[in-house]
Structure 1
Amino acid sequence: MKLETVIGLEIHVQLKTRSKMFCGCSNAGENEDPNTTICPVCLGHPGTLPAPNKQAIEWAAKTALALSCSIPKHSKFDRKHYFYPDLPKGYQISQYDEPIGMKGSISLVAGGEERTIRIHRLHLEEDAAKLLHNEKGDSFVDYNRGGTPLMEIVTEADLRSPEEAGAFLRELRLMMRYLKVSDADMEKGHLRCDANVSLRPEGSEELFPKTEVKNINSFKAVERALSYEVKRQSKIWEETGEAPTKQGTRGWDEDAAKTLEQRTKEGSADYRYFPDPDIPELDFDKDWVDRIKSEIPELPADLRKRFMDEYGFNTADAKTFASDSALAHYAEEVISELKVWLTSKDPEASAEEIWERDKKKLAKLVSSWLLSKLLGALNASGGSISNIKITAENMAELMTMVHESRVNSANAQLILGEMLKTGSDPSDILESKDLGAMEDDGSLEGIIADIVKNSPKQAEEYQSGKEVVFQYFVGQVMKETRGKADPVLVSKMLKKALAE
């Protein structure tokens, strides 16, 4: 029997508001000593009243709209009851039947195929405290995290592979960072994911009892945990000829690389939801929703498409630019300055005409220097695009120098290294270090003739078919010209000289 994987995700995203969800405590408790950013409200002391965080509500609505969710006219908060040490009130303030966002979607590319993953709902709640355990078996509770604004985003069971689930989470993380509502760092717990997985015969629309997999702390762990669970459930189908008979919860053990049974999964009735009587209902009018919608920036998928359509980048390069909004912003500034430089050399044509005329070549120039050479140098030095010393104008000037063959690639990279250290103008570095390209072909011709004449053995080896010797001649010419000769021109002239 051929089985199909059915996966749905429940994602919790911490909002980076200044204060907590229902009180005025600092929301930066992860960087403070345990149990220092707390108050009677987030500890659930008798007589205290929660006050909803306006910014958290607006950010949740903004996220819902970015996910193409509809915003209802009314929403409310509910109490979700369960007993656990990380929940001092004995209930969590959450949302049950009237969430902030409903019925959205995310489009993504996974495995070379474009997929649309439906969003079932987005609701707002408060985070629980953090449980810590030592080697002696002692347990501790840090309530700093308790009360942190938390969005829960629930997908429909539309994902069909562990890899697809990983791709979805990466795209969601990117969206959260573009919206600037969360750092969405999974390793720090800003983004947490529980995955519901089941199998069914291929072609069937029936949903069988699912297993919820918890304790997943990275994107790779999500893929590994789901892959293991798919294999485990496949074995049950093979041995019994049918699906597991009950739904349950399993935890992912990273060290053992397997899921372990935890408990039977609760239904909503087990939580005894009812409306929180201390918090008024929320009313959202059209003007409010329109204002929130107007604050949504260009999202990663739109930016990728625009970079391909407008600038001519290929899919892989557009994806890399979009992976960091700071990088994408810097790239656009560089391109804008590059157009100015190119227009100054060709005043008869507009910047758009010049770009369209040489789009493929210019896109390759920009991606090569920004994604390969610049990012490579930054990664090697531990720097980042957000605190780079090189202005967009200077980076564009360096690219123009390369584009016009005023400096060869090797020397341009030396100039780039100096620019990263000092932020200096590339023209000044070019002049002070005498790194400009040789402009006298006659002088280069004489240098090549002398090198060939003084290397009879190597010339004979090359002429007898030993082509690897050619690099010896290239190296000698570049050494003699102190790297200023154009390697393409050197190769062309060398081949001519060696053929004579």
Structure 2
Amino acid sequence: MTLIDTRTPDPKRFIPGATGDWEVIIGMEVHAQVTSEAKLFSGASTSFGAAPNDNVSLVDAAMPGMLPVINEECVRQAIRTGLGLKAEINHKSVFDRKNYFYPDLPQGYQISQFKQPIVGEGVVSVAVGPDSKGQYEEIEVGIERLHLEQDAGKSIHDQHPTMSYVDLNRSGVALMEIVSKPDLRSSEEAKAYVTRLRTIVRYLGTCDGNMEEGSLRADVNVSVRKPGGEFGTRCEIKNVNSIRFIGQAIEYEARRQIAILEDGGKIDQETRLFDPNKGETRSMRSKEEAHDYRYFPDPDLLPLEFDQAYVDALAEHLPELPDDKRTRLIASLGLSAYDASVLVSEKAIADYFEQVAAGREGKLADKRVTNKLRGAFKKTG
């Protein structure tokens, strides 16, 4: 993939260093678990909190002779998400085998999509802020692609002194991997982007967005450069599962890389983990490239094909999305852009507000909901 810089350097976002200013470049790979009662290629349940290895079919366990069968609901949800991201929907896509070994991946490969994903390029509008004056800045973040893939299982290393346990409940669960372009320039932008993405999938009902349950998590790609220069060597921080941790991981990693470069060193391209207890990233392994995975089309699955009529039928029944709802509330109820943005940030609050505002003065209803309801939420957690 060729990386193209689509943003003009912004001095407000530069990081001062010993040798001058630096610019951080951030790209995100967000993994969103598809809202579906069954897994991507089997009929096993996706319910959260089941006893270990309860939600495992013979397909998930990769028993000999078992063949995958596509779950159409997961396809529908991926297309609906692509429409919500204002992205190109590809009428033909291909499932590939991504080959690597890990104990909680019984097949020895992951069924994913490589060169021909189900969703192509799109764009997300993100409100960053508020600043010290209560103002938001609107930026656009390009979407490179959205593809469907299987999740892996879970290895548990702290239950026995000499052995690890494997729970395959998550193995085969459908994920949408939403890959952004390297358009983000600060930890605040990255946090705002993931927050907006989570809001969109929740409005659509395609992912519940519960980061504490692992339903939505992010791989964060971070590099630094002198303002306006060529992209630097990136490091990928894997599986960050909270908005706050995303911000902390970016801040630490950017400063770590700047310190190495200013000391005359070079950045090794690698995969890192974020330790929330120490507030730092640590090396996990050298970063793999696409050829390391030996991608090839899965011989057990035909190309996935549908026509425009199928897409149009799904588009016709999409719910009102956050940006459209915000615009309507401003126009119809006279709310400020700030107040409307706060209200639409959570679908449940926005829906409740509209019930309260029915037949009442909009600004008064907003005051009651924003001050009373959100205050109660914060108090009770």
Asked if the contact 1:22/1:50 (under 8 Å) is kept, the reply is: yes
Q: Equivalent residue of 1:49, what SS? A: coil
Deviations 1:221-246 (A, max 9, x none): 00001100010011122111x752x3
Asked if the contact 1:79/1:276 (under 8 Å) is kept, the reply is: yes
**Structure 1 residue 319, shift from structure 2 partner:** 2.0
Matches of residues 32-111 of structure 1 in structure 2 within 5 Å?
32-111=50-129
Asked if the contact 2:98/2:296 (under 8 Å) is kept, the reply is: yes
* 2:29 alignment partner in structure 1: 10
Per the alignment, do residues 268 and 321 of structure 1 end up closer, same or farther by CA in structure 2, a change over 3 Å counting? same
**Structure 1 residue 315, shift from structure 2 partner:** 2.6
> How far apart, CA to CA, are the structure 2 residues paired with 1:305 and 1:98?
35
2:210 alignment partner, one of 185, 193, 205:
185
Q: Based on CA coordinates, which of the two structures has the bigger radius of gyration?
A: 1
Q: Unaligned regions of 5+ residues in structure 2, if any?
A: 1-19, 130-135
Per the alignment, do residues 48 and 300 of structure 1 end up closer, same or farther by CA in structure 2, a change over 3 Å counting? same
User: Is 2:364 aligned against 1:365?
Assistant: yes
User: Is 2:177 aligned against 1:152?
Assistant: yes
Deviations 1:258-314 (A, max 9, x none): 111111100000101110111111112110111121122111122122212221112
Matches of residues 238-277 of structure 1 in structure 2 within 5 Å?
238-240=262-264, 243-244=266-267, 246-277=268-299
* 1:334 alignment partner in structure 2: 356
* 2:5 alignment partner in structure 1: none
The higher-RCO structure (CA 8 Å, 6+ apart) is 2
Deviations 1:401-444 (A, max 9, x none): xxxxxxxxxxxxxxxxxxxxxxxxxxxxxxxxxxxxxxxxxxxx
> How far apart, CA to CA, are the structure 2 residues paired with 1:243 and 1:154?
26
* 2:232 alignment partner in structure 1: 208
Quote the sequence identity (%): 43
Per the alignment, do residues 374 and 215 of structure 1 end up closer, same or farther by CA in structure 2, a change over 3 Å counting? closer
**Structure 1 residue 364, shift from structure 2 partner:** 2.8
Asked if the contact 1:199/1:243 (under 8 Å) is kept, the reply is: no
Give the root-mean-square deviation of aligned CA atoms: 1.7
**Structure 1 residue 376, shift from structure 2 partner:** 4.0
- Name which of structure 1's ranges 218-227 and 306-315 shifts more when overlaid on structure 2: 306-315
Q: TM-score, normalised by structure 1?
A: 0.68
Asked if the contact 1:10/1:154 (under 8 Å) is kept, the reply is: yes
User: Is 2:187 aligned against 1:162?
Assistant: yes
> How far apart, CA to CA, are the structure 2 residues paired with 1:375 and 1:229?
33
> How far apart, CA to CA, are the structure 1 residues paired with 2:342 and 2:176?
27
> How far apart, CA to CA, are the structure 1 residues paired with 2:261 and 2:330?
45
* 2:46 alignment partner in structure 1: 27
User: Is 2:260 aligned against 1:236?
Assistant: yes
Q: Equivalent residue of 1:2, what SS? A: strand
Asked if the contact 2:128/2:138 (under 8 Å) is kept, the reply is: yes
* 2:219 alignment partner in structure 1: 194
Asked if the contact 1:200/1:243 (under 8 Å) is kept, the reply is: no
Q: Equivalent residue of 2:232, what SS? A: coil
* 1:279 alignment partner in structure 2: 301
**Structure 1 residue 121, shift from structure 2 partner:** 0.5
Per the alignment, do residues 379 and 107 of structure 1 end up closer, same or farther by CA in structure 2, a change over 3 Å counting? closer
AA aligned to 1:306 is R
Q: TM-score, normalised by structure 2?
A: 0.89
* 1:299 alignment partner in structure 2: 321
How many residues align structurally?
355
> How far apart, CA to CA, are the structure 1 residues paired with 2:170 and 2:152?
7
> How far apart, CA to CA, are the structure 2 residues paired with 1:377 and 1:214?
34
**Structure 1 residue 328, shift from structure 2 partner:** 1.6
AA aligned to 1:274 is F
User: Is 2:318 aligned against 1:319?
Assistant: no
Which structure carries more strand by proportion?
2
* 1:434 alignment partner in structure 2: none
> How far apart, CA to CA, are the structure 2 residues paired with 1:220 and 1:302?
27
Per the alignment, do residues 378 and 228 of structure 1 end up closer, same or farther by CA in structure 2, a change over 3 Å counting? closer
> How far apart, CA to CA, are the structure 1 residues paired with 2:84 and 2:293?
30
> How far apart, CA to CA, are the structure 2 residues paired with 1:84 and 1:2?
41
Asked if the contact 2:86/2:122 (under 8 Å) is kept, the reply is: yes
> How far apart, CA to CA, are the structure 1 residues paired with 2:233 and 2:201?
31
> How far apart, CA to CA, are the structure 1 residues paired with 2:239 and 2:174?
20
